[in-house]
Amino acid sequence: MRAIVASPASWWRLALVTVGVLGLLSGTHRLTFYTSQTTVVALGYFGGVLYWSVRRGTSDPAAPRLRGAVTLWIMITMLVSHFVNNHGENPLPGLADPDPATALVNRSTFLLHYVLPLMVLADWLAFGPRRVTRWSDLPLWLIWPTAYVVLSVFRAFAFPTAENRYPYGFLDPTEGGYGSVLIGVLRLAVGIALLGAALIGVDRLLGRGSGHADRPEEAAEPSVRISAA
């Protein structure tokens, strides 16, 4: 237990979970939005990591290969929010909006769109284990973002009167039709794939020479030698 209390990784992850909870509780975030879903997933994962740390007495995260997926998914949240939804505008002035209600909403959004993703990315860069993820993991990481897009388009088609019918502008075919939606989604998919590849590449580069095995089962399960009495 002392090792966990003294671990920077554990304190960082506790702060990360706190930021996510504050962001969710201080605003209205519907699960139809990708941001809300990724936040819940990140909180579930890192909350589980903290529980695992206390139970097993180690700061190494459970399911380390899943950590890469969570990092990619929540980085998508930040990049889409900043460059697609906000068109690259500085979000900081909105935090001091003269209207208290608007300022609260902006701060909640800022926590979930910027602070939490950057904290998850910092966890990926600063803490191990290294070289656990594989290049073959990347297609698996893309399943959920792809499923989100497909289900969002299906929901908009099947339930035309649903609230927030098109959660994001690039899913709205009103002006350019579904052809423009497809082109936008394909561009986004390429960007996501490149980002995921960059995360894996950085992880493997940082782990070079660190002594971590490429295969997690070898790193996590040392062999047991039995000698004759």
% pLDDT > 90, the chain: 69
pLDDT at 229 over 60: no
pLDDT at 134 over 70: yes
**Rounded mean pLDDT, 156-184:** 91
Place of tokens 């998914």: 73
Compute the mean pLDDT over every residue in the chain, rounded to the nearest whole number.
Answer: 88
State the pLDDT at residue 4.
Answer: 60
**Rounded mean pLDDT, 122-147:** 93
For the chain, the structural domain boundaries read: 2-220
Least confident of 18-22, 51-55, 112-116: 51-55
Q: Is the full-model pTM beyond 0.85?
A: yes
pLDDT at 3 over 60: no
What confidence tens digit (pLDDT) does each residue in 199-222 have?
999 999 988 855 554 444 444 444
CA angle 27, 32, 34 (to 5 degrees): 80
